[in-house]
Structure 1
Amino acid sequence: MATTARYTVTNNWNSGFTADINLLADASGLNEWRLEFDAGFAISNIWGAEIVSHVGTHYVLRSLSWNSKVAPGGTVSIGFQATPGAGGTAASGFAVNGVSGGNPPVEALPAFSVADAAIVEGQSGVKELVFTVRLDKAAAGPVSVAFATADGTARAGSDYTAQAGTLQFAAGETSKVVRVAVLGDTLVEGDETLQLQLSAPKGARIGDGVALGTLRNDDVAPTLPALRIGDVSVAEGNAGDSFANVAVSLSQASATPVTVNFATANGTASAGSDYVAQSGVLTFAANETSKTIRVAIHGDTAVEANESFTVKLSSAKGATIADDTGVVTVRNDDAAPLPSLRVNDVTVTEGDPATGGGAAPGYFRTAGNQIVDAAGHSVKIAGVNWFGLESTNLAPHGLWTRGYQSMMDQMVDLGFNTIRLPFSSDLLRGGAMPNGIDFAQNPDLQGLTGLQIMDKIVAYAGEIGLRIILDHHRSSAGAGASDNGLWYDAQHPEAQWIADWKMLAQRYAGDPTVIGADLHNEPYNGTWGGGGANDWAAAAERAGNAIGAVNDDWLIFVEGIGTYKGESYWWGGNLMGVRDRPIDLAVDNKLVYSPHDYPNSVYGQPWFQGSDFASKLPDEFEQMWGFIYEQNIAPVYLGEFGSKLTDPKDVAWLDKITAYLSGDLDGNGTRDIAASKEGMSWTWWSWNPNSGDTGGILTDDWRGVNTAKVEELRPIMFDLEDAEGGAAAAKLALFTVSLSEAATGNVAVDFRTAPDSAGAQDFTATSGTLVFAPGERSKTVAVSVTGDQAAEATERFSLVLSNPRGATLADGTGVATILDDDGTAPPNTATTPTTPTTPTTPTTQPQEAAGLEGQFVVNSSWNTAFNASVTIHNHGPQAVSGWQVEIEMPNEITQIWNAEIVGRTSDGYLIRNAAWNGSLSDEGEASFGFLANGAVNPSQVDLVF
């Protein structure tokens, strides 16, 4: 006879159970033993043995030092606690020291359970709280169990009568009741609880041995009146004291007196200098419902903003406090001189017509390395990244200072056609509401979820001609890429990521404003191929195909990883794996590869080292991602690239990468693709100025424009809204409207363009209203200038300011000078040549004439352009009314401010004063600035008066 194993489940509470295994030794006894069996459950605690191994469903246990020897016919007991598995509590295949034995599980004993109970306590007398004790199955013989009550928040004696005893169940009987006497009262109190506890079972076991009894309160407290304090506004006066009468009211009369403490507290107004501090106790007599706190306000003649302080209520007796803070606003009544408004003159080079543009209505698809519209014409995505929906704000950034529609209008005005809109998985879950929004400027976003705000962005983009690429930027709400460099984590599994994409694809189906899905931002820790949970290429196919199954109109954008076969690159930028393992989607002609690329200032990568690094950049681009476009595998969309343009290496990088995107694939200055083809698509990082690495298209005030960045991008922009194709590419005349000083309140002024020698064919007319918030001093009005190839004279139009509110007009007209770049216009009439005069030989800078002296300073420069300023000084002794200077230099001026260009000379430009800075007193000064193309050598720039 072999040693046998007897398995018994001793207690089972569904989510867990305990069991015993008893070994009965045969006639030979045991000297050390080893027990094996199969079970789907997971043992969490064991006694009487130790687990040697657990592989799949197979357990191997062995004896401990103290129970390894078992006498012939003797027994040894093993116990454990476990969590049920696929087979519940079942175990089988018992073997002791390699010899099969054991028995099927013995049926568990019947189990006692007791159910919770509740009762309304009543206001007097006794009620019964009835607990039901049950057996889960009938017992073959009598069984019993002890019971006893125990206090919770309810107390024996005052709330109920304690009970204890033993319940006897006859064979076949399965339920009994325990009755607990509940004592009624009229106390206003919360619901109270007690417990009924089971113990000492005989012939059965305890499954659920504790029940909660709830005594529900049915006594209602009398309603107390509520105190409220009001706000008040009072003019401060110029001298002496005025008074703020702050009203305090009771919601209803009280039959007994009510008292409440009050005290003033400083805000922007200070006790002593602006008002007299007050504190004390207000007493409302019976049936009295209103009181007044009288606070003295000190008058003055200082010009200042409105100020405020508060009066706060506390420690009420006989009432509650519904509104504890009253705000007292001290209105300034001392007038300040109004600031003045000016608009500058600007100069812009006209430019040439676009070689193409426009998109037919509908969705995009791919053809070779081109993104094409519904009619099959090549188009280009040329946009910006606007982040924030992925952050803990759950809304695009900047809405704390501007309206979202105003910012999107500005994107269009600057020539961008697409927004890459990052979001997080958490944005799509319930919970926190968006924050960091000025609802006064975004009233239609009030009360919306983050997803509903996304709906608003998409809807308005459709109205103004912008396209949207949705970008799954990270799993949890926050900043930057996902912390683990993957598209999923423990809280956000891949299945949820795919389900979210399907939901969004269905949500925006039928709306070609949303052109596609950037599946995940910078999966830098993914692998490209090879299988497994981190195989990004496989995951991208799963997600892309799931999207295509519900919405086959979308483009699917697939980013790169961080490292492939030992070659590291920018996060999301390494697409080398496409050569070996291309993405294959079920829906054809929808795949676009999307790398990211950044300059030296973001991180000093090895390829930025060496004096000749710039010439090698096209090869770097080609190796990592450009080969996809060059070999006609698929289109390439550079989803992120950007810079603050303060590092000279960044400027060289930007020159090379924009040239590469435009089709100059070898960096030699010539376009290497067919005229009918478009270069690679892109979105700049970022629109936001609060990107620490790159800054933004906008300046830190969220309103101004970094014109140097826009001008660098202008050659690779594309107009999706020109459905006819071939409209002129727009340059911008950027007028700056400025206040002489910041105002304490809002300032508004209307503006409109007015034609002169330039007409409707030369610029796009615009009009509107500028509003300066308190503290703001400048605004920009962008006017699109239409390029052509006609040789013509310099043309002009104006921006005219009118109807100022909160300011005066010092200079209400800004003149835009459009410089022709198509050669010399033929003269209208023949002119008689004059005898040339002897030219004046300029002297070394500074030049002097009639007391005028000029100083030329380069403020900043980069490979393709520079910013400079010129200061004109009048040494007298006479005042000057109007000045003019010739700047001799080979560079082309693209924009000028605080002066205007009169014309071009063989050596440079003839420039004169603006309307408001031509008068110079003795030792007076005026200055102007400009942007110009090309490199600059200050020693070769002369000023001639």
Structure 2
Amino acid sequence: MLAAAASVLTAAAAALVTLTASATPAAAAGTGTGYLHTSGNKIVDSTGATVRLTGLNWFGMETDNHTFHGLWAGRNATWRMQIDHMAQLGFNTIRVPFTGDSLRSGAQATSINTDSNPDLIGLSPLQILDKVVDYAGQKGMRIILDRHRPSAAGQTALWYTSSVSEASEISDWQMLARHYANNPTVIGADLFNEPHAEGTEPNGTGACWGCGDTARDWRLAAQRIGNAVLQANSNWLIFVEGVSCPSGGTPNQWDNVPDDPMECDWWGGNLAAAAQFPVQLSVANRLVYSAHDYGISVYDRQPWFKDANFPNNLPDVWDHFWGYLYKNNTAPILVGEFGSTLANPLDTQWLTKLMSHMGSGTNGMSFTYWSWNPDSGDTGGIVQDDWVTVNQNKMDIIGPSLIPPVGSTPTTTPPTSPGTSSPPAGVSCATTYTLTNTWQGGFQAALTVTNSGTSAWNNWTVTWTMPSGVTLGSGWNATVTANATTWTAKAPSQSPTLAPNASVTIGFTANGPSSPGATNIHCS
């Protein structure tokens, strides 16, 4: 995705208020234990429990800033606060785009507000990445590293240029693989971002799949680079994106879509030839295929957007290009980038259909949404331009699919009191209340609710008690209301169902004292 941008949040260090503890299967929430590997179309942890990565992209390290965008914000938006906010919303993985330029000796991170981030003063881009990795790990999150561009100059069709060789890319990857060899927070390498066709003629000069030309065949290059990475760190997952057109060329210059709409997909999105020409790695159970998909706000001329059966035609499109690998139990799929401003109402249908297609709970496909950053020009971000306010339209659609990280013991609601209803049969409600920020006269908090049962929870409702004198400011990810000390969050109409093992994080701001926080939490 061609974008650059920034993000910061207003959330102070999280203070968890633990309710009644309960045992939860290792991967019912969070990202599992130890290093990850694959089993058929699943990603599993060191115990064999299924893990679903439900994350986002936080970019900037691939640009001339050489570090995460948004570090220029003020004291209410430090780098730690951003990660706090991601975790509170339920994202369990961060995909980090970077370029080799940011790894060079003497590389300098720029556009950092050192008043709000004094602990980053004088650090190199890699040292800042180390701090992000360490803190994300403390939150129970995982990190995927993404070689986004050969250099900060911009995206290219091929994984190398005249000045940045494949050998240089391999050297960078092996350095990172060794650097994080004993840190399972970093789970793997997305080898190169969005290889694509180039030129205006069929069989052009861009990346192909299965064409056999070692200078252009991305599948062969992915094997070479991936195996080199595994030599340095055999525990890593290897994420391999598709191309745009298997031939590496197409009659249309911009989007690479020829007359046959099923020949070419988005940059990095076409894995249609992977069945015939699979990626073969030297270490078994390490391959994850990754596809990208975007909405109309990015490019409105994709032919499937104009199909008379839209959006019901989309699952067949996705299955043709990449979903079949998951359905056939060939390998896991990570939808590594997908996004939209949602300015066009059709994009709401596109995103809703895509989230449904990827599945629910731990059995769904993994994904990392583009992006956290609000300054991605054609998609916007999860947070808006103030780096704090959540884009609620997006979270209403994405939120029910999120499996939050587990940085502390999962909790459940206490037995219901007389006069309160219980969750329906098959639904087990687990909750965690987090104080995320405070200021004079007010605070921000989050209540994460998980359906840890075996049945879907339709039209879910959660009630709790807040201290006397506290008044509601605003709420998100649910319809939040307050009646004196009794507060209620109801499922939004756009997303009324919480699937088994799915979670939603209800955020709100309030006026008044923050202590003792939410008590008497009940689900119905």
TM-score normalised by L of structure 1 = 0.42
- 1:649 aligns to 2:339 (yes or no): no
Q: 1:456 to 1:897 in 2, by over 3 A?
A: closer
8 Å Cα contact 2:67-2:109 kept in structure 1: yes
Supply the distance in 2 between the matched residues of 1:793 and 1:537 (Cα, whole angstroms): 48
Supply the distance in 2 between the matched residues of 1:897 and 1:403 (Cα, whole angstroms): 20
| Residues 602-655 of structure 1: per-residue CA shift (max 9 Å, x gap) | 111111004421010000000001011011110000000111112111011111
Tell me which residue corresponds to 1:622: 319
SS at match of 2:377: coil
The structure where strand makes up a greater share of residues is: 1
8 Å Cα contact 2:31-2:52 kept in structure 1: no
Tell me which residue corresponds to 1:523: 195
Tell me which residue corresponds to 1:637: 334
Q: 1:616 to 1:794 in 2, by over 3 A?
A: closer
Shift of 1:412: 0.7
Q: Where do 5+ consecutive residues of structure 1 fail to align?
A: 1-352, 664-674, 730-756, 803-811, 822-860, 866-893, 900-913, 916-945
- 1:503 aligns to 2:175 (yes or no): yes
Tell me which residue corresponds to 2:8: none
The structure where helix makes up a greater share of residues is: 2
Q: 1:403 to 1:610 in 2, by over 3 A?
A: same
Q: 1:431 to 1:643 in 2, by over 3 A?
A: same
Task: Indicate the percent of aligned positions where both proteins have the same amino acid.
Answer: 43
Cα RMSD of the aligned pairs, angstroms, is 3.6
Shift of 1:708: 2.2
- 1:721 aligns to 2:406 (yes or no): yes
1:540 alignment partner AA: A
Of 108, 115, 121, the residue aligned with 1:446 is 121
Supply the distance in 1 between the matched residues of 2:113 and 2:467 (Cα, whole angstroms): 30
- 1:572 aligns to 2:257 (yes or no): no
Of 356, 359, 364, the residue aligned with 1:679 is 364
Of 668, 672, 691, the residue aligned with 2:376 is 691
User: How many residue pairs are counted as aligned between the two chains?
Assistant: 425
Of 459, 466, 469, the residue aligned with 1:798 is 466
Tell me which residue corresponds to 1:705: 390
Of 457, 461, 486, the residue aligned with 2:158 is 486
SS at match of 2:285: coil
Aligned 1:260-279 pairs, distance under 5 A: none
8 Å Cα contact 2:144-2:186 kept in structure 1: yes
- 1:383 aligns to 2:65 (yes or no): no
Supply the distance in 1 between the matched residues of 2:166 and 2:484 (Cα, whole angstroms): 57
2:223 alignment partner AA: E
1:782 alignment partner AA: A
8 Å Cα contact 2:30-2:92 kept in structure 1: no
Supply the distance in 2 between the matched residues of 1:424 and 1:820 (Cα, whole angstroms): 43
Aligned 1:397-796 pairs, distance under 5 A: 397-401=69-73, 402-478=77-153, 482=155, 484-524=156-196, 525-529=206-210, 530-565=212-247, 567-604=263-300, 605-662=302-359, 678-721=363-406, 763-767=431-435, 769-771=437-439, 780-785=444-449, 795-796=463-464
SS at match of 1:653: helix
Q: 1:542 to 1:706 in 2, by over 3 A?
A: same
Supply the distance in 2 between the matched residues of 1:661 and 1:702 (Cα, whole angstroms): 28
Tell me which residue corresponds to 2:499: none
Supply the distance in 1 between the matched residues of 2:508 and 2:405 (Cα, whole angstroms): 31
2:446 alignment partner AA: A
8 Å Cα contact 2:436-2:445 kept in structure 1: no
- Decide which moves more: 461-470 or 777-786: 777-786
Q: 1:793 to 1:577 in 2, by over 3 A?
A: closer
8 Å Cα contact 1:471-1:521 kept in structure 2: yes
| Residues 109-140 of structure 1: per-residue CA shift (max 9 Å, x gap) | xxxxxxxxxxxxxxxxxxxxxxxxxxxxxxxx
Q: Which has the higher contact order (CA 8 A, sep 6+)?
A: 2
Shift of 1:449: 1.0
| Residues 123-168 of structure 1: per-residue CA shift (max 9 Å, x gap) | xxxxxxxxxxxxxxxxxxxxxxxxxxxxxxxxxxxxxxxxxxxxxx
8 Å Cα contact 1:379-1:718 kept in structure 2: no
SS at match of 2:240: strand
8 Å Cα contact 1:704-1:779 kept in structure 2: no
Supply the distance in 1 between the matched residues of 2:112 and 2:509 (Cα, whole angstroms): 36
Q: 1:441 to 1:722 in 2, by over 3 A?
A: closer
Q: 1:639 to 1:814 in 2, by over 3 A?
A: farther
Supply the distance in 2 between the matched residues of 1:613 and 1:896 (Cα, whole angstroms): 33
Supply the distance in 2 between the matched residues of 1:608 and 1:813 (Cα, whole angstroms): 45
Supply the distance in 1 between the matched residues of 2:435 and 2:32 (Cα, whole angstroms): 29
SS at match of 1:637: strand
Q: Where do 5+ consecutive residues of structure 2 fail to align?
A: 1-23, 197-205, 251-262, 414-419, 422-428, 471-481, 497-504, 513-524
Shift of 1:588: 0.3
1:443 alignment partner AA: P
Q: 1:408 to 1:509 in 2, by over 3 A?
A: same
Q: 1:895 to 1:684 in 2, by over 3 A?
A: closer
| Residues 806-839 of structure 1: per-residue CA shift (max 9 Å, x gap) | xxxxxx9985633688xxxxxxxxxxxxxxxxxx
8 Å Cα contact 2:272-2:322 kept in structure 1: yes
